[in-house]
Amino acid sequence: MEKLISIGYDAEFFLIDSGATDFNSLTKQLKEKNYDGVVIGNGIRSMKANFILFEQIINLVHASAPKAKIIFNSLPTDTDEAVKRWL
């Protein structure tokens, strides 16, 4: 987050808890602003047990922020590079 902000992005954070994610809160956050992009971290995507959660998040982002690019990082440390690819 700090790195994205330091290079000029207006970044916000939403923690996804694989056990108790409040999709209503995520939907609300995505609809409150016009986001250019949404990063979905590798921690959600890489775990087989999170397959359904990942699918739910993709569909929620698509429905709630349809103009936002969906962006994937490999590690938290390369999020800025992932964002730069699309924005």
Q: What is the predicted pLDDT for the residue at 14?
A: 86
Domain ranges of the chain: 1-7+34-87
Q: pLDDT: is 22 or 80 the higher one?
A: 80
pLDDT tens-digit series, residues 12-54:
888 887 666 678 888 999 999 999 999 998 888 888 988 998 9
Read off the amino acid at residue 63: A
Taking alpha carbons only, the member of 33, 16, 37, 50 closest to residue 82 is 37
Residue 55 predicted with pLDDT over 80: yes
| Predicted model pTM | 0.86
